[in-house]
Amino acid sequence: MTVELQPAFRTAMRRLASSVAIVALHDQVLRGMTATSLVSVTMDPPTLLICVNRSASIHAHLRVAREMSVNLLSVAQASIADAFAGKVSPDERFRHGEWQDCDGIPYLVGAQANVLCRIASLTVVGSHTMILAEVHRVSVSDSLSPLLYCDGGYRAIAQVPANS
Amino acid sequence: MTVELQPAFRTAMRRLASSVAIVALHDQVLRGMTATSLVSVTMDPPTLLICVNRSASIHAHLRVAREMSVNLLSVAQASIADAFAGKVSPDERFRHGEWQDCDGIPYLVGAQANVLCRIASLTVVGSHTMILAEVHRVSVSDSLSPLLYCDGGYRAIAQVPANS
C-alpha cells in the first residue's frame, strides 16, 4: 500500500481544481513564482496560507523580504503563469506581464485580485514551506474570470451543467 | 484602510476558485462538513491541509477522531455539498449521498476522490483551525468533473477560451 500511496495521492490531487496565483516580492532582486496551493484561513485578521516548494528560487528570499504580493491570475494571464512556473529564468520573469510597485512590493496589473501581505510565519512540512501571511492591502478586478489549474492544465470556470 | 480591509479581502477571496470537499469522520456519531479551503502541502509524506471554522459542528470531534476522509465532490454532488454546508442539521446530513465505511471512516461514493487521512496537527488561526492531515489511503474516480466554488456559487471547469 505504501509503495503505491504517493502516485495515488498525486492522481487524486489532479482532481483538485485551484486558482492560479503568482507570489512576488522584492529582496534586492525581484522574485516570483506561480503557486496553486493557496487558501484563505481566517478573516480576522485577514490571513492567507500558501505553500512554496523549498527548491523554488523565491524560497530563500521569504525570510528576508517579509512582504509579498499574491496575485490571483485571470484566464488571459496563462502565459504569465507559465513564465513564473519555470519556463523563464528567475531573473527574466518580470518581463512577462505588467508589474507595478506599491511600497516596494511588486504586483501584477490585470490580475483578478492583488493581495499584499506581511509574512507572519514560515513552517516547513516535508518538501514545502507553509506561509501564513497577514493581508494589509487588497485590490480586486471588476470582472470574474479566474485562471484555474486542474488535471495538469489550465482551465476556466463554467456554470454547473443543468442536467447534473 | 483598516476599516475597509476585511470586506475588500472578502471580495478578493470571491475571485478565488476552489474545489468543494466534504470532510467526514466517525466519533461515536457521524460528523461532516463542506469545505473549500483545501490544499496539498507535500508528497512525502502525502499531506493535506484543510481549514475548519471553529464554530463548525465537526470541530469538537477532530481531536478525538484522529482519522477523517476528505471527499472531493463531483459536479453531480452540489446538493450534497449544500446539505453538509448547513442546509441540513449535523445529525441528518449523512442521509444525503451514498456513504460507505472503510476501517471506521465514512467516505462518499461517487466523489472525484476519497482521501483517507490521519490528523497530524491542529493549529488555531483566528476563527479557524488549520488541520494537517497525513494521507494513508486514496481512491480516485475515472472521470474528471470537479465541483468548484467561486464568487459565492457552484461552478464547473471549462477549457480556457481560445481568444484569451
Instruction: Tell me if A39 is assigned to some domain.
Output: yes
Q: What is the 3-state secondary structure (H, E, C) of chain A?
A: CHHHHHHHHHHHHHCCCEECEEEEEEECEEEEEEECCEEEEEECCEEEEEEEECCCCCHHHHHHHCEEEEEECEHHHHHHHHHHHHHCCCCCHHHCCCEEEECCEEEECCCCEEEEEEEEEEEEECCEEEEEEEEEEEEECCCCCECEEECCEEEEEECCCCCC
Chain B hits for A144, Cβ within 8 Å:
14-15, 150-151
Look at residue B63 in the predicted model and tell me its pLDDT: 87
Q: Which residues of chain B have pLDDT under 50?
A: 1-3
| DSSP H or E run through B80 | helix B78-82
Nearest 10 degrees: CA dihedral of B153, B154, B157, B158? -60
Question: Band of the pLDDT at A164, cuts 50, 70, 90?
Answer: low
Count of beta carbons in the 10 Å neighbourhood of residue A39: 24
Question: CB distance A51–B37 less than 8 Å?
Answer: no
Interchain CB distance below 8 Å, A41 and B75? no
- Which chain A residue has its CA at the smallest distance from B9's CA? A138
The verdict on whether omega for the bond into residue A161 sits within 30 degrees of 0, i.e. cis, is no
Domain membership flag for residue B161: no
Q: A144 lies in which domain range?
A: 19-149
Q: Is residue B52 part of a domain?
A: yes
B60: CATH: 2.30.110.10
pLDDT tops 80 at residue A2: no
Number of domains, chain A: 1
> Chain A contacts of B42, Cβ < 8 Å?
51, 125-128
Tell if the CB–CB gap between A132 and B125 is shorter than 8 Å.
Answer: yes
Q: Examine residue A159 and state whether it is found in any structural domain, yes or no.
A: no
Do the chains contact at B15 and A160, CB–CB below 8 Å?
Answer: no
**CA angle at residue A83 from B37 to A24, to 5 degrees?**
55
CB contact under 8 A, B39 and A51: yes
**Is A114 inside any structural domain?**
yes
Q: Do B38 and A16 touch (CB under 8 A)?
A: yes
Question: pTM for the complete prediction?
Answer: 0.95
What is the rounded distance in angstroms from the CA atom of residue A67 to the CA atom of residue A26?
8
ipTM over 0.85: yes
Whether B47 maps to a domain, the answer reads: yes
For position A3, what pLDDT does the model report? 47
Q: How far is CA A15 from CA A92, B20, B140, in A?
A: 32, 11, 8
| Distance between CA atoms of residues B164 and B149, nearest Å | 22
Q: Which of A42, A113, A156 sits opposite B158 (nearest CB)?
A: A156
Question: Which residues face B156 on adjacent strands?
Answer: A158
Q: In chain B, how many H helices and how many E strands?
A: 3, 12
Half-sphere exposure of A20 (CA within 13 A, CB side): 30
How many A-B residue pairs are in contact by the CB < 8 A criterion?
214
**pLDDT of res. B164:** 67
Q: Is residue B42 part of a domain?
A: yes
| B54 is a domain residue | yes
- Pick among B2, B36, B40, B121 to test the A interface (most A CBs inside 10 A): B40
* B9:A144 CB<8 A: no
Query: pLDDT for A61-96, tens place per residue?
Result: 998 999 999 999 999 999 999 999 999 999 999 999
Residue of B nearest to A145 (CA): B15
Return the DSSP state at B75: G
- Note the pLDDT tens digit of each residue in A29-63: 999 999 999 999 999 999 999 999 999 999 999 98
Burial of B142 (0-12, 13-18, 19+ CB in 10 A): exposed
Residue of B nearest to A130 (CA): B41
